[in-house]
Chains A and B, each alone.
Chain A
C-alpha cells in the first residue's frame, strides 16, 4: 500500500531530531577515557537513570510496528508480551544480578568460561554476536521501512544513513552516551506514544476527549478487550505460543542473556540500585510501554469498526502504525511521532552495538591477543569495532528483508539463537553436574536443531531425540565406539521411517515414525541386566 505520508515540516523535524541526538550523544564522548568507561560508563549511575534508559532499549523501533499490527488484529492481548516478565524477577534480582555485579564479568561469554571452559566461551561468543548483530539489522530495517516512504529514497540507502547517524553520536561516547541519549529518547518515545493515544481519542470523539474515550471503548468488541490471547488459536497468535516463546524464552533471554541490558545494570553504582531499576522498570514502565507501542493498533481498530472506510481498504496490518499516525496527527506532530520511532530504533541499536563491541574486545581480542595494547589504543579499537559491527548489520538487512514481514523476521532470529544459550545459562546456574562438554553439546546440538534440522525453535523440536541419546549412551556402554554405532542404528531407523512413507505400503506412517523409539525400548529391555551396574 502506498500512503501519502508526511509534509516538508515533518521531514525537517525528523532531521532536526537526528541532529539533536547526534550532538547530545557526541557531547558525552569526553567522559570515555578507558574501555571501562566506554562499555560500563564508569559504574556510577543511579537506579532511575538506569530504569528510564532501559525503556528506550527495551522498546525497539520494530515494537511500534509489530505490536500495533497485533493490536489492530487482536486488541488488548497485544500487551501480553510486556506484561509477563515478573515471574523471573526473584531469580534475576537476587540470583543473576549479584553474580554479574560482584564477579565483575564483562560479558555473557565470560560467564561461560568461568563456569565451564574457554571453548564454551568461544562458542557462546559466536552465538551471542550473531544474535545481537541480527537484532541490530532488524532495527535498521524497521526504521528504514518507515523512513524511506517519507523521504522517497531507496531502502538500503536509508539503512546506510541511519547506521551513519548512530555511528556519529555513539562513536566517541560509548555507554555514557548510550545511557544519556537513551534517557532522553525514553522520555521522548513515552511522551510521543501517549500523545498519539490522546490524538486518536480526540479524533474518535471529534476533538472531545471524554466522548472520544467512550467511542474508543464502544467501538472495540468484547473479544478485542480481552487482555490475553485465545488459548490455542490462531496458529500465529495464540496464548500458549506467546507464553512459551515470549513469557518464558523471551523473558529469560532478555533478563539473563541480553548483553546490552546486563551492561546497563553493571553501570549502576550498586546491586541494590540495579534491583530498584529492575523493579521500577517491570512494575511501572513496562505497562506504560505496552500502551505506548500498541495504542495505534487499538485506535486503528476502533476507527475501522466505527467508520469502515476511514483507513485504506487495502491497508496491510503492518502499515497501521504509520496510517493511524498520519490521519490523527497534524503536520509537525506526525514528524515528532516518527522521530520517536527513530528514538526507539537508535536507543536499541546503540545499546546492541556497544554490547557487541564489548564482546569483541573482551571475548575475542583480549583472550587471543599475544600482547595487549595500552588502554588508549584499546579504546580506539573499541570505537572502530562498533563501526565494524554496524557494517555487518547493514549487510544482513537484505536477508531479513526477504521475510514476509518484520514480525516474522524478528520471531525467526529470536527463536533461533536464544534457546541453546538460555538452556546453557540456566542449567549452568542450577545444576552442578552440568559439565563443560554438556554445555558445548547443548550449543552445537541446539544450533544444529535450529539452523539445519528446522529453521527455528518449535515446540517438540527435539521429538524425543534426547531420550534416544540417553539410550545410545547406555547401549554403547559409555564408550565412544559403542555410542557411535548405536547412534548410527537410530539414524538408520529414522531414515527408513522417512523413506518408507514414499512406498505405497498400507501401514499407518506413525508406525514407521515410531521405529527408532520402539528399537530403543527393545534395546533397553534386552540390555537391562547387563547395564544394571551402570545405573
Chain B
C-alpha cells in the first residue's frame, strides 16, 4: 500500500474539506448567524467540531487498521 492509497486521500479530504468547513464556520460567526453569546447557540460550535473530528477519527482509525492488517 502506498501513500496515495492511505494518507494522501485523508490529508486531501480533511485539508480541502477543512477549508470549506472553517470558511463556513467563520462566515456564520462573522455574520452573527451563530452568536456565541447565546447559550443555545454555543453548543452548536462544539457539535460542529465534534462532527469534524468524529469523521476524521473514523477514517484515520480504518486507515491504521488496514495498514496494520497487511
Report the bound CA distance from A430 to B27 in whole Å: 9
Report the bound CA distance from A91 to B24 in whole Å: 5
Interface residues of B in 1-43 (CB under 8 A from A): 1, 4-6, 8-10, 12-13, 16-18, 20-21, 24-25, 27-28, 33-34, 40
Report the bound CA distance from A430 to B54 in whole Å: 28
Whether B24 pairs with A88 at a CB distance below 8 angstroms is yes
- The verdict on A231 contacting B69 (CB below 8 Å), with A86-B21, A90-B21 known, is no
Kindly list chain A residues whose C-beta atoms are within 8 Å of the C-beta of B40: 272
- The verdict on A226 contacting B6 (CB below 8 Å), with A76-B62, A272-B40, A275-B44 known, is yes
Whether B24 pairs with A90 at a CB distance below 8 angstroms is yes
Select which of B17, B20, B33, B62 is within 8 A of A227 by beta carbon.
B62
Task: Judge whether A282 is part of the interface by a CB distance below 8 angstroms.
Answer: yes
Kindly list chain B residues whose C-beta atoms are within 8 Å of the C-beta of A282: 51
Task: Judge whether A449 is part of the interface by a CB distance below 8 angstroms.
Answer: no
Closest to A226 in B: B66
Q: Which of A84, A86, A233, A240 has the most CB of B within 10 A?
A: A86
Kindly list chain A residues whose C-beta atoms are within 8 Å of the C-beta of B5: 223, 226, 230-231
Task: Judge whether A483 is part of the interface by a CB distance below 8 angstroms.
Answer: no
- The verdict on A226 contacting B63 (CB below 8 Å), with A95-B24, A240-B12, A247-B13 known, is yes
Kindly list chain B residues whose C-beta atoms are within 8 Å of the C-beta of A89: 24, 48, 51
Report the bound CA distance from A239 to B66 in whole Å: 17
Q: Which of A87, A89, A226 has the most CB of B within 10 A?
A: A87
- The verdict on A225 contacting B4 (CB below 8 Å), with A87-B17, A94-B34, A243-B16 known, is no
Report the bound CA distance from A88 to B16 in whole Å: 12
The size of the chain B interface, using a CB distance under 8 A, is 38
Closest to B59 in A: A227
Whether A225 pairs with B66 at a CB distance below 8 angstroms is yes
Kindly list chain B residues whose C-beta atoms are within 8 Å of the C-beta of A508: none
Closest to A286 in B: B55
Q: How large is the interface on A (under 10, 10 to 19, 20 to 34, 35 or more residues)?
A: 35 or more
Whether B63 pairs with A228 at a CB distance below 8 angstroms is yes
Whether A95 pairs with B28 at a CB distance below 8 angstroms is yes
User: Whole-angstrom distance from the CB of A149 to the nearest CB of chain B?
Assistant: 35
Whether A222 pairs with B62 at a CB distance below 8 angstroms is no
Q: Which of B5, B18, B44, B70 has the most CB of A within 10 A?
A: B5
Whether A231 pairs with B9 at a CB distance below 8 angstroms is yes
- The verdict on A87 contacting B44 (CB below 8 Å), with A225-B65, A228-B59 known, is no
Interface residues of A in 286-310 (CB under 8 A from B): 287
Contact with B along A221-254 (1 / 0, CB 8 A): 0110111111111000001100100011000000
Report the bound CA distance from A287 to B57 in whole Å: 13
Kindly list chain B residues whose C-beta atoms are within 8 Å of the C-beta of A83: 55, 58-59
Task: Judge whether A93 is part of the interface by a CB distance below 8 angstroms.
Answer: yes
Select which of A86, A223, A275 is within 8 A of B51 by beta carbon.
A86
Listed A/B pairs (30) with beta-carbon separation below 8 Å? A83-B59, A86-B21, A86-B52, A87-B18, A87-B24, A89-B24, A90-B21, A90-B34, A94-B28, A95-B24, A98-B33, A222-B66, A222-B70, A225-B66, A225-B69, A226-B62, A227-B63, A228-B9, A228-B13, A229-B9, A231-B4, A231-B5, A233-B4, A239-B9, A243-B12, A275-B44, A279-B47, A279-B51, A282-B51, A283-B51
Chain B contact residues, CB within 8 Å of chain A: 1, 4-6, 8-10, 12-13, 16-18, 20-21, 24-25, 27-28, 33-34, 40, 44, 47-48, 50-52, 54-55, 58-59, 62-63, 65-67, 69-70
